[in-house]
Amino acid sequence: MIGKRTLNDEKLALITFTGPLSKTQEVLEEVSDFVSSSDKLEADGNPTLIFYTAPLKDEGRYDVGIPVKGDSEGDGKIRVVTIPGHTVIFTEYSEDREEAYRRLIEYVEENCLDVIGAPREVLHGDVREIQFPVVL
């Protein structure tokens, strides 16, 4: 199933990381430790990966982060940024990641949508949600 929704502005504590996708879990733990030890921030959602290179490649450039509430500028390596609200199409997967991306790409092409930014994955335990920011 493919859905669409409008997201509100979202504040993320994140690290920009270049390397193998398998290392993003370690980076996520670093962000999580920063947020949990901060007296200014509180986790406010599920971990997020934003892909700046092809999401199906083994190596890439990513923003690895956690939605947060509170005010902080980070600590140098970890930044706190606000992503403006936007509309996304999305689907979920638990096993076949490549198939989930294929379905979203077909949906974009069939509906003549404009993808306006980097895809992201939101981690909901064993299920991941892929989001493409679009103009409808």
Q: Which residue in 63, 57, 51, 15 sits closest to 131, CA to CA?
A: 51
Query: What would the mean pLDDT of 3-21 be, rounded to a whole number?
Result: 97
pLDDT at 70: 95
| CATH code, 29 | 3.20.80.10
In the structure, what pLDDT confidence band is assigned to residue 58 with cuts at 50, 70 and 90? confident
Q: How many CA atoms lie within 13 A of 65 on its CB side?
A: 25
Query: What would the mean pLDDT of 1-6 be, rounded to a whole number?
Result: 96
Residue-number span of the structural domain to which 13 is assigned: 3-135
Q: Rounded to a whole number, what is the distance in angstroms from the first to the last CA of the chain? A: 18
What's the domain count of the chain? 1
* Measured distance CA(14)–CA(31) in Å, rounded: 6
Instruction: State pLDDT tens for residues 59-109.
Output: 999 999 999 999 998 898 999 999 999 999 999 999 999 999 999 999 999
pTM: 0.94
Amino acid at 119: P
